[in-house]
C-alpha cells in the first residue's frame, strides 16, 4: 500500500527526525535508527533532543507509527525503504566526509525486504554512482536508489517538509522515482524527476544561489554605506522585480548555519576536484567571511582600541527560532573580540554557548538588560524578536557607553539615536 510503507530512517539529527516524523504523519510506519544511545534514549522517552517547532507534537501524534531504536536489526527487519539522513561534515581536504553514509549503506545488506534506498544527506555529485556500486557489492542488486534532497530550513523544517516548493527526485529507474513520489502522496507540490547526478547538484546549486543572494545584498549594503544610499530601500525595491524576488536579500552579519557554509565549501571543493576554480562561488564565500568581521571594525571606529572593553553579543544562534550555533557568526565575533583583548558577554534565549573556545571565557546572561549593564558596546548578532521589546532608553543609561552595532537592522536608527545611542547598522546611513 503506497500510504503504508515500512520505512527505516538512518540518523536522528535534524533531517532524520523531521523526515521520520513527516513520513509517519503521511501514514507510513517508520523506525528511526541512530547510533547515539543518549539521543535514542531521549526519543524513546518521548522527548525531542533538538528544538524544532511542531516536531514534538508531530512525533507524539504519530507514536503508533513512529519508533526509535539503537538496534540495527530492528530497523532493518521490516524496512522496504531506507532513508539515509546522516551528517556529511567537511573533511580535512574540504570534501564532504561520507564515512557515515557508507557505513549505513553497507549495513543495508542485512535488510530482507528492502527495495529502495533514498539519499537525503547532502552529498557531492557522483555519490549516487558510488552508492549504486556499494549496494551491488552488498548483494542488493535489485534495490532501487534515489537522491531526494531536502530543502527545509531550520525552525520551519516540519512546515517546509509538508509544504515544499518542489519535490526533487533523482533516480536511475522510473519505478524508483514513482515509488518515492508515492511516498509523498498527501503533499501538494510539483514533483521534479531527473537523473541522480542532477538531483545531487540541485541541492548544492540551490543553497549556493541562496548564499549568493545574501552575499550580494551584503556587498551592496557596504556600497550603500560608502555612498550614502539606504540598503533597505535599495534591496526592497530590487526585490520587487519578479525576476529577482524579495527573498534572501536581507543584509546582515553574514550567513551561517549547518548548510550554507558547509555546502558552499563542499561545492567549491567539488568544482576544484574537476579542475575548475569557481570564481563566483569563491567570491560569495569571501564576502561572507568579510561580512562576519565588519562589526569589529565598526566598533573600533567608535571605541578605538577594544582591549579591556566589555562587549555584548546579543544572540548567538545563527538565526532566530533555533538553538543551533553551527557556523554562527557569533562565534567568529567572540573569537575576534577576544583576540583584540575585549571581554565578551553573551545572551541568547535558546542557544547555549559550547564549552569550546571562544566561548570558554565569555560570560552568559539571562536577559539582554543584565548583559548590557555596564558594557562598552553591544552587537545585535541574531534578530531575536525579544530584542525589539528591550527598553532601550533604560539600557542607554545602564551601559557604560551606549554604542550599538545592529548587525541585523532590527531597530530603528532615528529612535535609537534619539535615545542617546551611537547606533550603527548594515547599509543604512
Ligand atoms: C538553509 C536553506 O534555507 C535550506 O533550504 C537548506 O535546506 C538548508 O540551509 P537554514 O540553514 O536553516 O536553511 O537557514 P536559513 O533560514 O536559510 O538562513 C541561513 C543563513 O542566512 C542565516 O545565517 C540567516 O541569518 C542568513 N540570511 C538569510 C541572511 O543573512 N539574509 C537573508 O536574507 C536570509
The interface predicted TM-score of the complex, written ipTM, equals 0.96
Q: Which residue has its alpha carbon closest to ligand 1 atom 20?
A: 255
pLDDT in tens, 104-147: 999 999 999 999 999 999 999 999 999 999 999 999 999 999 99
pLDDT tens-digit profile, the chain (429 residues): 667 999 999 999 999 999 999 999 999 999 999 999 999 999 999 999 998 999 999 999 999 999 999 999 999 999 999 999 999 998 998 889 999 999 999 999 999 999 999 999 999 999 999 999 999 999 999 999 999 999 999 999 999 999 999 999 999 899 999 999 999 999 999 999 999 999 999 999 999 999 999 999 999 999 999 999 999 999 999 999 999 999 999 999 999 999 999 999 999 999 999 999 999 999 999 999 999 999 999 999 999 999 999 999 999 999 999 989 999 999 999 999 999 999 999 999 999 888 787 888 899 999 999 999 999 999 999 999 999 999 999 999 999 999 999 999 999 999 999 999 999 999 998
In this prediction, residue 238 carries a pLDDT of 98
The minimum-distance atom of ligand 1 relative to the CA of 250 is: 33
Fold held by 6-194 = Rossmann fold (3.40.50)
Residue nearest to atom 31 of ligand 1 (CA): 250
How many angstroms is it from 14 CA to the middle of ligand 1? 15
Q: How far is it, in rounded angstroms, from Cα 429 to Cα 426?
A: 9
Q: How far apart are CA 198 and CA 126, in angstroms?
A: 9
Strand (E) or helix (H) holding 347: strand 343-347
pLDDT at 343: 97
Residues 62-102: tens digit of each pLDDT = 999 999 999 999 999 999 999 999 999 989 988 899 999 99
Distance 263 CA to ligand 1 centre (A): 12
**Pocket-testing residue among 87, 123, 206, 210, ligand 1, by greatest number of atoms within 8 A of Cβ:** 210
* Closest ligand 1 atom, residue 152 Cα: 7
3-state SS assignment for residue 296: helix
pTM, two decimal places: 0.95
All CATH 3.40.50.720 domain ranges of the chain, comma separated, are: 6-194, 260-425
All three cell numbers of 175, joined, read 519505478
Which protein residue has the closest C-alpha to ligand 1 atom 1?
A: 153
Query: What strand order describes the sheet that includes 422-425?
Result: 363-364, 343-347, 310-314, 377-380, 403-406, 422-425
Ligand 1 pocket list (CB less than 6 A): 150-154, 207, 210, 214, 248-250, 252, 255-260, 318-319
CATH class, 260-425 region: alpha beta
| Residue minimizing CA distance to atom 5 of ligand 1 | 151
Is 259 tagged catalytic?
yes
Amino acid at each position: 500500500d503506497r500510504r503504508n510503507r515500512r520505512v527505516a530512517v538512518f540518523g536522528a539529527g535534524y533531517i532524520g527526525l523531521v523526515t521520520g516524523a513527516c513520513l509517519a504523519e503521511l501514514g507510513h510506519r517508520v523506525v528511526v535508527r541512530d547510533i547515539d544511545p543518549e539521543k535514542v534514549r531521549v526519543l524513546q522517552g518521548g522527548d525531542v533532543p533538538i528544538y524544532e517547532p511542531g516536531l514534538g507534537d508531530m512525533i507524539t501524534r504519530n507514536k503508533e507509527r513512529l519508533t526509535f531504536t539503537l538496534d540495527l536489526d530492528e530497523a532493518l527487519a521490516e524496512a522496504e525503504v531506507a532513508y539515509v539522513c546522516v551528517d556529511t561534515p567537511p573533511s580535512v581536504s574540504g570534501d564532504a566526509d561520507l564515512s557515515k553514509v557508507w557505513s549505513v549503506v553497507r549495513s543495508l545488506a542485512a535488510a530482507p525486504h528492502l527495495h529502495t534506498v533514498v539519499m537525503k544527506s547532502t552529498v557531492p555529485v557522483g555519490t549516487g554512482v558510488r552508492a549504486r556500486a556499494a549496494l551491488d557489492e552488498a548483494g542488493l542488486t535489485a534495490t532501487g536508489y534515489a537522491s531526494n534532497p531536502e530543502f527545509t530550513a531550520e525552525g520551519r523544517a516540519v512546515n517546509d517538509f509538508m509544504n515544499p516548493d518542489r519535490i526533487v527526485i533523482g533516480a536511475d529507474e522510473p519505478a524508483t522515482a514513482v515509488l518515492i513520489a508515492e511516498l509523498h502522496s498527501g503533499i501538494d507540490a510539483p514533483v521534479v524527476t531527473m537523473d541522480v547526478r542532477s538531483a545531487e547538484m540541485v541541492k548544492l546549486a540551490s543553497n549556493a544561489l541562496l548564499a549568493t543572494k545574501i552575499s550580494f545584498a551584503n556587498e551592496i549594503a557596504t556600497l550603500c554605506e560608502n555612498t550614502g544610499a539606504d540598503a533597505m530601500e535599495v534591496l526592497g525595491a530590487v526585490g520587487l522585480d519578479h525576476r529577482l524576488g524579495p527573498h534572501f536579500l536581507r543584509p546582515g552579519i553574514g550567513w551561517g548555519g549547518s548548510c550554507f557554509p558547509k555546502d558552499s565549501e563542499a561545492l567549491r571543493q567539488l568544482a576544484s576536484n574537476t579542475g575548475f576554480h569557481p570564481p563566483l562561488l569563491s567570491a560569495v564565500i569571501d564576502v561572507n567571511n568579510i561580512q562576519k568581521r565588519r562589526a569589529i571594525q565598526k566598533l573600533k571606529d567608535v571605541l578605538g582600541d577594544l582591549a579591556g572593553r566589555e562587549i555584548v553579543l546579543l544572540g548567538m544562534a545563527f538565526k532566530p527560532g533555533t538553538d543551533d550555533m553551527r557556523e554562527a557568526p557569533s562565534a567568529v565575533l567572540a573569537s575576534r573580540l577576544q583576540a583584540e583583548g575585549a571581554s565578551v558577554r553573551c545572551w541568547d534565549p535558546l542557544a547555549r554557548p559550547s564549552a569550546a573556545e571562544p566561548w570558554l571565557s565569555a560570560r552568559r546572561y539571562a536577559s539582554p538588560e543584565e548583559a548590557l549593564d555596564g558594557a562598552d558596546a553591544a552587537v545585535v548578532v541574531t534578530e531575536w524578536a525579544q530584542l525589539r521589546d528591550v527598553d532601550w532608553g533604560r539600557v542607554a543609561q545602564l551601559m557604560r557607553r551606549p554604542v550599538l552595532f545592529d548587525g541585523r537592522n532590527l531597530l530603528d536608527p532615528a529612535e535609537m539615536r534619539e535615545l542617546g545611542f551611537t547606533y550603527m547598522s548594515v547599509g543604512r546611513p
